[in-house]
Amino acid sequence: MKPFKHLLAILLIVSGSFNFAQYPTQKPTDKPPTTQDSIAECITLKDMLKQIEARDKRLEATKQSKNNTMNSISQDVKNNQPNAEVGVVYSEDYNNLLTLELPSRVTGFEASKAIKMHPMQGMLSESLMYYWENGREIVIEKSASNRKRKTHSRVDFAKLMWVDSEADMESFLFFIGLDKHPELSKVNDVGESAYWNSKNQNLQMYYNGVSFMLPVIVSFDADLNKEKTIELANLIVEERIK
């Protein structure tokens, strides 16, 4: 009878009408995978592979987007101008506007002996200065009654401050405040507009969308300092902005 029962069970499985509850058998300890299990497992693996592939494509697209952005920024920096229509040859970079060679040429001091200071980079109060320790000194008496004298060292320097690469004439004149500073006097033939501050010995000037402040102090002679400052300002216009 056992062979007959086994044959009947096989026939019922094939026909799809077999009910295992009506034919109890001993369950094996390890159930072998069925065809449906194998198919389901293959579908799951296929979906996972698709998800991984989609993720890789998203990552590649993000990476490409970042690379394009960085290339664009690098190109802007390389061109040193916001766009091709603007005639300014630098992008508000103090180092591009005031190179060491320019103040060295104006003052006659050796470039190799210059000391550079560039504090507050990227901030509103940013400045760039080249200075030389040439042994210039000033002697100060403590008081008329006290004849003791004290010697103070002074450095010779050229300093660039308050650069604005998006300026116009109106904003420049508002910034310097002519009505509030009677010590300002107009200087001709320097940029489009320039004023000398006799109190602080510096030049404030505007040219072609760029404004800045510039002192060159190389002596105790105010007229000589003014002359050197104007000379350097003209060099900046001719060689760094035009």
- Residue 110 sits in a domain whose CATH number is 3.40.1000
Q: Please give the residue range of the domain that contains residue 217.
A: 94-241
Both 59 and 119 in one domain: the answer is no
Both 107 and 213 in one domain: the answer is yes
Both 79 and 181 in one domain: the answer is no
Tokens coding 198: 């006799």
Both 189 and 144 in one domain: the answer is yes
In terms of C-beta density within 10 A (0-12 exposed, 13-18 middle, 19 or more buried), how is residue 238 classed? exposed
CA–CA separation, 104 and 192 (whole Å): 25
CA–CA separation, 142 and 149 (whole Å): 6
Q: Report which residue type is found at 197.
A: N
Element holding 59 (H helix, E strand): helix 35-79
Per-residue pLDDT tens digits for 93-128: 899 999 999 999 999 999 999 999 999 988 888 999
CA–CA separation, 208 and 85 (whole Å): 12
Q: Of 210, 184, 188, 212, which Cα lies nearest the Cα of 196?
A: 184
Both 237 and 120 in one domain: the answer is yes
Both 63 and 106 in one domain: the answer is no
Residue where a domain stops, chosen among 45, 66, 84: 84
Per-residue pLDDT tens digits for 213-239: 999 999 999 999 999 999 999 999 999
227 and 89 in contact (C-beta within 8 Å)? no
Asked if the structure places residue 77 within a domain, the reply is: yes
pLDDT of 183 above 90? yes
Asked if the structure places residue 180 within a domain, the reply is: yes
98 and 158 in contact (C-beta within 8 Å)? yes
Both 207 and 118 in one domain: the answer is yes
102 and 236 in contact (C-beta within 8 Å)? yes
